[in-house]
Amino acid sequence: MRPTIEWAGDKIVMIDQRKLPLEEVYVECRTYEQASEAIETMVIRGAPAIGVAAAMGIALGMLGVKAGEDRAAAYARVHNRIYRTRPTARNLFWALERMKAVFEAQRESSLAELQKKLVAEAVEIDREDEELCRRIGQNGASLIKDGDVVLTHCNAGGLATAGYGTAVGVIRAAWEAGRTFSVFADETRPFLQGARLTAWELERIGVPYRVITDNMAGWLMHRSEISLAVVGADRIARNGDTANKIGTYSVAVLCKENGLPFYVAAPLSTFDFALADGSLIPIEERPDAEVREINGRLIVPPAAKVRNPAFDVTPARYIAGIITEKGVARPPYESTLDALRNR
């Protein structure tokens, strides 16, 4: 299988995550507009993967600039388009900041040199992400013990990152370390990232798994059929409050009620230290059709109104540990996350 996302000289190639698991189709983006649409329409999704796509989108956009054009104006146009694609994942803005720093540092360089540097930075962001995820996996693997049943929500695997995954990275590292356990994957309505993508990945890794609908986790916890939960994150505030796929908050509350540890796995590029708490995290509202329809077929009365918040925020008090590439932070997160960042 090809990587989730790949820089291919003058284009980006990404697997179309809307078509999985039934079809393995690759999409080519040759313009920054196409890259922006791929992020908006969820061809590519998952915070770290969105960050990589954003960086590559900037590189693509600037490759389209001709000699004599106003570079700063072109950069602003490309940046602003990508900036508006999805609001919640911190990694998108983090990647844009990294690309902007390269642009500013190359103000005196030739256009060709600037383009080369931007491509190199985007490729480096992609490479680094896979390495960081492997470290997250190693740091979190010991939290899974022989005989455990791990619950995960949404997809925080290789598809959501440059390659190895965050929450699924932890599961994968524990599996590669020889631990024997199994996984419950929440289906994750409305976009079904768990049923379609996490299940597809777990099958390839070889971990025994079962898919459950989102409303089953509580009962299975009550029956002692789940040992712990590990999920990814889209944005983590300074105090540890964590935005992740809608439904994550419910899983965390259910873990607390049932005395089970609830872990978050994420690279430092997902942290937003500028935000004091989770109430400041922007939550994306997605199109009504995602709730009103399944596979393009209406499932509600035609006039039914719906809500479709794509993320929720889990207060830090529900989180037993945040697994990063620099180690596992434990409460109180105000101090431990800051210490981790400066490590």
Which residues are the active-site residues? Answer: 234
Q: Is 139 in the site for ligand MRU (CB under 6 A)?
A: no
Least distance to ligand MRU from the beta carbon of 301, Å? 27
Residue 6 CB coordination number (10 Å): 17
Containing H/E element for 140?
Answer: helix 111-140
Q: Is 198 in the site for ligand MRU (CB under 6 A)?
A: no
Stretch that binds ligand MRU, among 43-51, 71-79, 93-101, 326-334 (CB under 6 A): 43-51
Q: Is 160 in the site for ligand MRU (CB under 6 A)?
A: yes
Beta strands in the chain (DSSP E): 5-7, 12-15, 26-29, 149-152, 182-186, 209-212, 228-231, 235-237, 242-245, 262-265, 271-272, 293-294, 297-298, 311-314, 321-324, 327-329
Q: Which of 121, 186, 234, 325 binds ligand MRU (CB under 6 A)?
A: 234
Q: Which of 14, 35, 45, 52 binds ligand MRU (CB under 6 A)?
A: 45
Give Cα 55 distance to the centre of its chain.
Answer: 15
Least distance to ligand MRU from the beta carbon of 52, Å? 11
Integer-rounded Cα Rg, in Å, for the chain is 20
Residues 65-104 that bind ligand MRU (CB under 6 A): 89
Q: Is 36 in the site for ligand MRU (CB under 6 A)?
A: no
- For residues 309 and 292, the answer to whether their CB atoms sit within 8 Å is no
Our CA angle for 278, 195, 260, nearest 5°, is 50
- For residues 226 and 151, the answer to whether their CB atoms sit within 8 Å is yes
Distance CA 285, CA 95 (A): 22
Q: Is 61 in the site for ligand MRU (CB under 6 A)?
A: no
**Per-residue interface string for the shown chain with ligand MRU, residues 302-341, x marking contact by CB under 6 A:** --------x-------------------------------
Residues 247-306 that bind ligand MRU (CB under 6 A): none
Binding-site ranges for ligand MRU (CB under 6 A): 45-48, 89, 154, 156, 160-161, 166, 193, 232-234, 244-245, 310
